[in-house]
Amino acid sequence: MISPVRVIACTAMVILQGCLWFPLTVSAQSSAIPLRIGFFNAENLFDCQHDSLTDDFEFLPDGRRRWTPARYQTKLRRVAEVIASMGDDEVPAIVGLCEVENDRCLTDLTRHSPLHAAAYSYVMSHGDDPRGIDVALLYRPALFHPFCADEHAVSVRAIHRNAHARPVLHVSGRLPTGDTLDVLVCHWPSRLGGTRASEPLRSVVASVVQAVCDSLQTVRTKALLLVMGDFNEPPSGHAVAQLEGGSHLVNLARTAQPMYPPKRNSDCQGTYRYKGRWEKLDQMLVSPALAACIPAANITNAPFLTIYNAPFLLEHEPVYGGLRPRRTFLGLRYRSGYSDHLPIFADFLFPLD
């Protein structure tokens, strides 16, 4: 079931961590509309109330992580800060999220955090993840108007009876140009148990996404498709390559570059760091028609995707050296950080015909 679309009206401006943003204005003389689209693995955005249908006990006030209302409010402010600062003069038009527990978290994020003035609405999936985490899509109604939302279940029980995979959220919406943009938000199975054991699970998800993309590209010539998420494997991974080649999509993550110059050449060359090694687990794949809407698409070796490595999102790595994402917890030790993943975004320019 997809949660109802929520519209939050607000015209105020906000100053957050030195970032000033206003509602978008497009002049009558504009020949194209710029849109920034981002994705962020929020790393366990849980409220602190028990859901009887999920295993969320560690994120309760008396749970292992002592997830108190104060810590929850801090987490909301952290996620809001990331999204707000991801824009230049304004917040992104669309933001995909994963590791979000429920509607309450998104209501609090969009209405009761510093992000409320951005006037985001949202659509969220409701899968059967044991911990209750799902994916969601934030959007600004003036720039993206959903007319259809669905979630595609992913069955992996044939591989292992205890296996599970989160559903794929698919939202179709109208852009100010009148074009239709299809966005799919994913959170593929982790590599828990090893790459070899978990790869078949991700391959099943890739097949589901591929089927949706193939159907849309059959119905619409020059379909504008965007698939984004935490794929839990690099662009060279088997399942990602399967999706990229099978649906003729362009993986922007292959040429992704950090927004700010890293302190060392080995820093921030990905979105997730494990044992000193950076990996590009968070990715965006687009159809050829949508790739043509990227301003730098015709420039040789241009970075199509930006890894948002703002200094406040990073901290020193004492064991392996260099930098790592500043996460909320390190083991069970509360660090009051942001996430174990860095956000990504891409800029598009949609012509007004």
Per-residue pLDDT tens over the stretch 147-182 = 999 999 998 877 877 778 899 999 999 999 999 999
Q: Which of 189-198, 297-306, 324-333 has the lowest mean pLDDT?
A: 297-306
C-alpha angle 181-186-187 in degrees, rounded to nearest 5? 165
> Which pTM does this prediction carry?
0.90
Distances from the Cα of 301 to the Cα of 30, 252, 254, 291, 309, angstroms: 28, 11, 10, 14, 20
C-alpha angle 236-238-239 in degrees, rounded to nearest 5? 110
CA nearest to 151, candidates 95, 214, 205: 205
- For residue 28, what are its two tokens? 């009558």
Give 78-106 pLDDT, tens digit per residue. Answer: 999 999 999 888 899 999 999 999 999 99
Q: Which CATH number fits domain 14-24+31-351: 3.20.20.80, 3.60.150.10, 2.60.40.10, 3.60.10.10?
A: 3.60.10.10
Domain residue limits, the chain: 14-24+31-351
pLDDT at residue 205 tops 70: yes
